[in-house]
Amino acid sequence: MPKIIAHLDLDAFFASVEERDKPRLAGKPIVVGADPEGGKGRGVVSTANYKAREYGIHSAMPISHAWQLSENARRQGKPPAIFMSGNYAKYSQVSQKIMDIIRKFSPQVEQASVDEAYFNLTQEGSFEKAKTICQNLKKDIQVKQGLSASIGLGPNKLIAKIASDMQKPNGLTIVKDGEAATFLAPLSLRKIPGVGPKTEALFNKMGWKYVRDLQKLKKDELMDILGKLGEDIYYKVHGLDDSLIVEDYEAKSIGEQETFRQDVRNPQILFDALKVMSQHIAVSLKKDGFKNFRAVVITVRFGDFETKTRMRTIKSSESSAGKIYSEGMKLLMSFLDKRENPKNKAIRLIGVRVEKLTK
């Protein structure tokens, strides 16, 4: 029997929670993220609701840019966006409640991020029955939590994930067994997980833009270009994926980031920020019931917005703030010298997070 896998992703999650809880926000464009400080703010957008996206505002955009777009809209007589800081404790509570609802509809659920989950519906026996389950689930989330979600149904996780994004917001997209390759063919290559901006640029240079362009290649041709990654991509463009639903992951990472008021070269300022964030993360780990982490990840964004991420995997299982700090510091050091920062650029933002969490 073919598998029937679903992927659910909440629509404009943080912003939708705010809109739900604050009646004065109903129907308005909303941006959750850093303080825009009248256009001078230095942080980024966490998310924007769909009204605000009509102005071109989106996740990870500098908040100052979002402010400009909102001001442009205001000048055209449209309502300006409402900017608000996020209430992350609340979002994570809502997230847990949503996961509990999904668990009532499926015996096997994998939380993949704060607002998305894969779940198994194979036991329903047909895509028609699985579709009805998804419609009921969407209704239940709407009634109990006042939020809308988009769901993709497919023969594996890869297809379910891509499908859930096809008809956002409030979508339900079904790709039956045997339809996967046809479904993927017209999509742009960036829709394939694992094809990032660099790989996409490489493909574009070869004249390949859509999934169908890669579907024509042999596995060896892709492997000659990209090695193991080429092999992975070969299977993906044909809609093949045998990764399993991994239960038990309540969250894949816990982390924080800080944007400095001015770009920084002084190591002490960076280490101080790292220390405070490490302490916060250790507290969150405990609060969320995690025993250990096995990896520490540092993100550095330079003044020119170049952004680098480096990870250290730890052999022993650790949970202390001190360990996050010491591993984070080793990673951070390389950004202060030629190894990761040959041009001695100043640093705009650092982020630290822990991954490979166990309960």
Q: So which residues are the catalytic ones?
A: 116
9 appears as a binding residue in the annotation: yes
115, 256, 318, 327: which one binds ligand TTP (CB under 6 A): 115
Question: Which residue reads 């680098």 in tokens?
Answer: 308
3-class SS string, the chain: CCCCEEEEEECCHHHHHHHHHCHHHCCCCEEEECCCHHHCCCCEEEEECHHHHCCCCCCCCEHHHHHHHHHHHHHCCCCCCEEECCCHHHHHHHHHHHHHHHHHHCCCEEEEECCEEEEECHHHCCHHHHHHHHHHHHHHHHHHHCCCEEEEEECCHHHHHHHHCCCCCCCEEECCCCCHHHHHCCCEHHHCCCCCHHHHHHHHHCCCCEHHHHHCCCHHHHHHHHCHHHHHHHHHHCCCCCCCCCCCCCCCEEEEEEEEEEEECCHHHHHHHHHHHHHHHHHHHHHCCCCEEEEEEEEEEECCCCEEEEEEEEEEEECCHHHHHHHHHHHHHCCCCCCCCCCCCCEEEEEEEEECCEC
115 appears as a binding residue in the annotation: yes
4, 6, 8, 10: which one binds ligand TTP (CB under 6 A): 10
Would you say 10 or 17 has its CB closer to Mg ion? 10
CB half-sphere exposure, 190, CA atoms < 13 A: 7
Would you say 70 or 299 has its CB closer to ligand TTP? 299
End-to-end CA distance of the chain: 33
Would you say 9 or 327 has its CB closer to Mg ion? 9
Q: For the CB of residue 59, give the shortest distance to Mg ion in the complex, in Å.
A: 9
For residue 193, the partner it binds in ligand TTP, Mg ion, none, with Cβ less than 5 to 8 A by kind, is none
6, 47, 55, 293: which one binds ligand TTP (CB under 6 A): 47
168, 176, 275, 280: which one binds ligand TTP (CB under 6 A): 168
C-alpha to C-alpha distances, 183 to 85, 173, 176, nearest whole angstrom: 38, 11, 9
Residue 115 sits in the site that holds Mg ion (CB under 5 A): yes
Residue 9 sits in the site that holds Mg ion (CB under 5 A): yes
Would you say 100 or 272 has its CB closer to Mg ion? 100
Dihedrals φ, ψ of 346, to 5°? -80, 160
Residue 59 sits in the site that holds ligand TTP (CB under 6 A): yes
Residue 89 sits in the site that holds ligand TTP (CB under 6 A): no
Residue 19 sits in the site that holds ligand TTP (CB under 6 A): no
54, 60, 170, 188: which one binds ligand TTP (CB under 6 A): 60
The token pair at 191 is 């829709």
Q: For the CB of residue 9, give the shortest distance to Mg ion in the complex, in Å.
A: 4
For residue 67, the partner it binds in Mg ion, ligand TTP, none, with Cβ less than 5 to 8 A by kind, is none
Residue 267 sits in the site that holds ligand TTP (CB under 6 A): no
Residue 96 sits in the site that holds ligand TTP (CB under 6 A): no
Residue 19 sits in the site that holds Mg ion (CB under 5 A): no
The Cα–Cα gap between 18 and 297 comes to 29
Residue 83 sits in the site that holds ligand TTP (CB under 6 A): no
What character string, x for contact with Mg ion (CB under 5 A) and - otherwise, covers 62-101? Answer: ----------------------------------------
Would you say 16 or 106 has its CB closer to ligand TTP? 16
Q: For the CB of residue 111, give the shortest distance to Mg ion in the complex, in Å.
A: 13
| Binding segment (CB under 6 A) for ligand TTP, from list 12-20, 68-76, 119-127, 244-252 | 12-20
The footprint of ligand TTP (CB under 6 A) covers 9-14, 46-47, 59-60, 114-115, 168-169
Q: Which residues are annotated as a binding site?
A: 9, 115
